[in-house]
């Protein structure tokens, strides 16, 4: 079970959270101008990163707020937690 740090409530077990998928996928401002390829890209195409992945979590059994996290999908270690609406943080050089 992962330990997840809600930016509002602090560290809690994964069982309090719901996963929200890849972060920073903004809903198109004017959907009617999109062609089918662009719409499919927004709806379905994902980076599925092997490495550092920006993702959303929701503290579903707590404050119920969404926030973002950076996690290394090759180790499942979290590297950063940050509030929705703030930019993806730059990471310091990786420690050995």
Partner 1 sequence: MQRFSALSIFRRGLAGHESWQPQWRRAAPKGAYDAIIIGGGGHGLGTAYYLAAEHGLTNIAVVEKGWVGGGNTGRNTTIIRSNYLFDESAALYDHSLKLWEDLSQVLNYNVMYSARGVMMLAHNVHDVQVAKRHIHANRCNGVDNEWLTPEQAKEFCPPLNISPDIRYPILGAALQRRGGTARHDAVAWGYARAADALGVDIIENCEVTAIRRDASGAVEGIDTTRGALNTRKLGVVAAGNTSVVMAMAGVRLPLESFPLQALVSEPVKPAFPCVVMSNTIHAYISQSDKGELVIGAGTDAYTSYTQRGGLHINTHTLDAICELFPMFRRMQMLRNWGGIVDVTPDRSPIIAKTPVPGLYVNCGWGTGGFKATPGSANVFAHTIARDEPHPINAPFNIERFRDGFLIDEAAAAAVAH
Q: Which residues bind Zn ion (CB under 5 A)?
A: 6, 8-9, 59, 62-63
d(Cα 43, Cα 63) in Å, to the nearest integer? 27
Residues 25-84 close enough to bind partner 1 by CB under 8 A: 36-37, 39-41, 43-50, 53, 55, 71, 73-76
Please enumerate in sequence order all residues whose Cβ is within 8 A of that of 3, keeping only pairs 6 or more positions apart, or say none.
Answer: 11, 12, 13, 14, 78
Q: Which is nearer to Zn ion, 42 or 81 (CB)?
A: 81
d(CA 36, CA 25): 17
Q: How far is the CB of 17 from Zn ion (least distance, A)?
A: 9
Q: How far is the CB of 20 from partner 1 (least distance, A)?
A: 10
Residue 33 CB, shortest distance to partner 1, in Å, is 16
Distances (CA, A) of 46 to 1, 7, 15, 50, 55: 24, 25, 25, 12, 11
Binding site for partner 1 (CB under 8 A): 1-2, 14-15, 17-19, 21-22, 36-37, 39-41, 43-50, 53, 55, 71, 73-76
């Amino acid at each position: 079970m992962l330990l997840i740090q809600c930016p509002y409530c602090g560290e809690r077990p994964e069982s309090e959270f719901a996963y929200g998928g890849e972060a920073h996928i903004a809903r198109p401002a004017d959907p009617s101008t999109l062609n089918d390829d662009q719409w499919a890209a927004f709806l379905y195409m994902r980076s599925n990163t092997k490495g550092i992945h920006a993702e959303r979590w929701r503290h579903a059994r707590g404050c119920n707020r969404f926030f973002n996290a950076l996690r290394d999908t090759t180790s499942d270690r979290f590297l950063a937690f940050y509030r929705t609406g703030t930019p993806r943080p730059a990471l310091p050089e990786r420690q050995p």
